[in-house]
Structure 1
Amino acid sequence: MIDVGFDFTDRHVLVTGGTRGLGLAVARAFHSAGARVSVTGTKILPSLYDADLADFDYHQLQLASADAIASFVERIGPLDVLVNAAGARLSATMDEHEREFLCHSARLGFVGPGRLTQQLRHRLCASPAPGGGAVIHTHHSLAWFELTLSPADAESELRAQTAQAGRAWSRLGGRVNAVLAPQRVSVPNQQRTAPMVIDMSDSGVLLTRPKVAAEVSVEQVAPIAMFLASSGASTVSGQTLATTPRR
């Protein structure tokens, strides 16, 4: 439930990975705020997904292919907001050398969300929205860096690239920010129940359930992404916001 008022009427929002999880929650939130929303997925038809995608313009996109990204950019048209919420999905049919090459290509920004973002820079910076077009990276962007880096180094790299791009884009009329969840993001209907633990103490058998680490829900992350794309954040660029789970 989004309880903060946003108005994205007449804005075009693109959410990569908008067919499930965080991407779907963000796409639905922007649609509820009046935006025209495009989502991407790897399957050929939107009907192949469990979620109802009828409210969105669906596009098949393989972010692991530079040619697919270039073709997509030619078709997408004017754009105001890009939310990168697509994880790194590599084909299981790749041999070891192909996989290694692709992983390093993703690290260098030749494929993946970094490539897509750069290819869309001119369209986003041409947005008439206050503050210009907005790019929001999510924790899914980390997966592309983690193909070659440790989780800690991947986060440091994403933060550094976000800061650098944020400074560069602000001079061109756009902005780049990120919102990261420090722990696993929970998705509705996918909550896990902690297993029961049997404590064989002197006082008898005691069944306990260990504490589960607090999580951040997709509904909590979506309004942060919307804020970063809103006119209220028109002067914010190069920042990485970390969400804090509540017990």
Structure 2
Amino acid sequence: MSRKIQQLFDLTGKTALVTGGSRGLGLQMAHALGEAGARVMLSSRKAEDLEQAAAELQAAGIQADWIAADCAKEDETRGLADQTLARFGRVDILLNNAGASWGVPAEEHPVAAWDKVMNLNVRGYFILAQQIANGCMIKQRGGRIINIASIAALNGNPVGMKTLAYNTSKTAVIGFTRTLAAEWGRYGITVNAICPGFFRTKLSNGLIDSLGEDHMKAGAPLQRLGDDEDLKGITLLYASDAGKHITGQWLAVDGGVSVVLGAA
């Protein structure tokens, strides 16, 4: 007999590791996983931010812990995986969300800045996914990996946006997601990506302010920016048994912006 929809979306007994989870989109998605029953490990660079975020989750009745780590650094990324497995015993859901951007015209882009963005946005995703897969997911014959890409991966930039390294890294995340899904499907591991559009986050606030919030809303078919619950549904779908037959896919959550840009 097939399960009821509430059972398919239930994450009770599951554990989740969320990078970049101390604020913004990462914290929103951590709430989604925890509200569905998962125990959540948050990670980002700053302990103070993590402590506040974990307290917020705990106040909502979610089991939450945190580990400070810079996922642009290999030793800290591997340490994060090892410590999470030591504390939780297993990881059922890995949400790769930590990211960085750099706004400068392509002809002026410093190589060091390019490397910084790529190391966190792509290399860090690979190292953590490999470490978690080898540490538990392959052995337990199952797991969910969710990679945060961006609509910046889908088209060239609108006028005023100068984020070559960021866009390139997020395009790489989609390729990484699809290739990894093909390789690890035999282990029962699904790998999918989310491509957020414009949300009010620390990473995008400057861009939204410079281009004008009303202007950016007007460019979206739904005439709005993303809010603090718009990523919850797709996160839970990818993380739960409701999405167990979905792998190697990406979905834009952007109010339709990528549809307009794609037609331009």
Q: Give the structure with the larger helix fraction.
A: 2
Gaps of 5+ in 2: 103-109, 154-161, 219-223, 258-264
1:221 aligns with 2:231: yes
Contact 2:15/2:38, CA 8 A, preserved across alignment: yes
**Residue 10 of structure 2 aligns with which residue?**
7
Q: Which has the larger radius of gyration?
A: 1
Q: Where do 4+ consecutive residues of structure 1 move more than 4 Å?
A: 48-51, 96-108, 140-143, 192-196
Deviations along 1:35-71, whole A, 9 cap, x unmatched? 1111102113434669735441111011111111122
1:184 aligns with 2:189: no
Following superposition of structure 1 onto structure 2, how do residues 193-232 of structure 1 map, counting pairs within 5 Å?
212-213=217-218, 214-232=224-242
**Residue 201 of structure 1 aligns with which residue?**
none
2:217 alignment partner, SS class:
coil
Q: TM-score, normalised by structure 2?
A: 0.68
The separation in 1 between residues aligned to 2:126 and 2:116, in whole angstroms, is 13
The separation in 2 between residues aligned to 1:47 and 1:230, in whole angstroms, is 27
Identity of aligned residues (%): 26
Contact 1:185/1:216, CA 8 A, preserved across alignment: yes
Deviations along 1:191-232, whole A, 9 cap, x unmatched? x89999xxxxxxxxxxxx767333233411121011011112
Q: CA RMSD in A?
A: 3.7
Contact 1:10/1:34, CA 8 A, preserved across alignment: yes
The separation in 1 between residues aligned to 2:81 and 2:239, in whole angstroms, is 20
- The number of residues matched between the two structures is 215
Letter aligned with residue 198 of structure 2: R
Contact 2:70/2:76, CA 8 A, preserved across alignment: yes
**Residue 98 of structure 2 aligns with which residue?**
86
1:185 alignment partner, SS class:
coil
2:231 alignment partner, SS class:
helix
Q: 6, 29, 34: which is aligned to 1:31? A: 34
Letter aligned with residue 130 of structure 2: Q
**For residues 50 and 10 of structure 1, do their structure 2 counterparts lie closer, same or farther at Cα, with a shift above 3 Å needed?**
closer
